Amino acid sequence: MNKKRRRGTPMMGMVSTRLANSTILENILSGDVQFKTISNLVDTYNIRTIPCPFTDNSALPEAMGCEVYFQENAHASLKTHPIKTREDLARLKIPDPHKDGRLPEHLKAVKLICERYPDNPKSGSVSGSFTLAIQLGGLEDVLMNTVTDPEFVDELIDFSTTVNIAWARAQLELGCSSFFVGDPAASLLDPKTYVRFAGAPVKRMVEELQVPLLLHICGDTTPLIDDMCATGVKVISVDAAVDIKAIAPRVPQDVLILGNLNPVGTIRNGTPQEVVEEAKAMLDRLSDIPNWRFCTGCDLPPDTPIENINALMEVLENY
**29-58: b or e for each residue (b if 16 or more CB lie within 10 Å)?**
bbbebbbbbbbbbbebbebeebbbbbbbbb
The arithmetic mean of pLDDT across residues 37-63, rounded, is: 95
The answer to whether residue 3 scores a pLDDT higher than 90 is: no
Q: 261 Cβ partners below 8 Å, 6+ apart?
A: 10, 240, 267, 278, 279, 282, 294, 295, 296, 297, 312
List, for residues 128-164, the tens digit of each pLDDT value. 999 999 999 999 999 999 999 999 999 999 999 999 9
Confidence of residue 214 (pLDDT cuts 50, 70, 90): very high
Q: Each residue of 15-42: pLDDT tens digit?
A: 999 999 999 999 999 999 999 999 999 9
Q: What is the three-class DSSP state of 132?
A: helix
| CA 66 – CA 143 distance, rounded (Å) | 18
Task: Name the band, by pLDDT with cuts 50, 70 and 90, for residue 8.
Answer: confident
Find out whether 130 and 55 touch, Cβ atoms under 8 Å.
Answer: no
Domains belonging to the chain, first-starting first, are 16-318 (3.20.20.210)
Which pLDDT band holds residue 92 (cuts at 50, 70, 90)? very high
Three-state SS for 140?
helix
- Please provide the DSSP assignment of 191-209 as one string: HHHHIIIIIHHHHHHHHHH
Alpha carbon distance 84, 216 (integer Å) = 27
Q: Does residue 73 register a pLDDT over 70?
A: yes
For residues 186-204, average pLDDT: 97
**Quick check: 48 pLDDT over 50?**
yes
Band of pLDDT at residue 319, cut at 50, 70 and 90: confident
Average pLDDT on 271-290 reads 96
* Band of residue 6 on the pLDDT scale cut at 50, 70, 90: very low
Q: Which amino acid is at 122?
A: K
**What is the reported pTM?**
0.95
Give Cβ neighbours of residue 149 (< 8 Å, ≥ 6 apart): none
For the chain, the average pLDDT equals: 95
| pLDDT for 7 beyond 70 | no
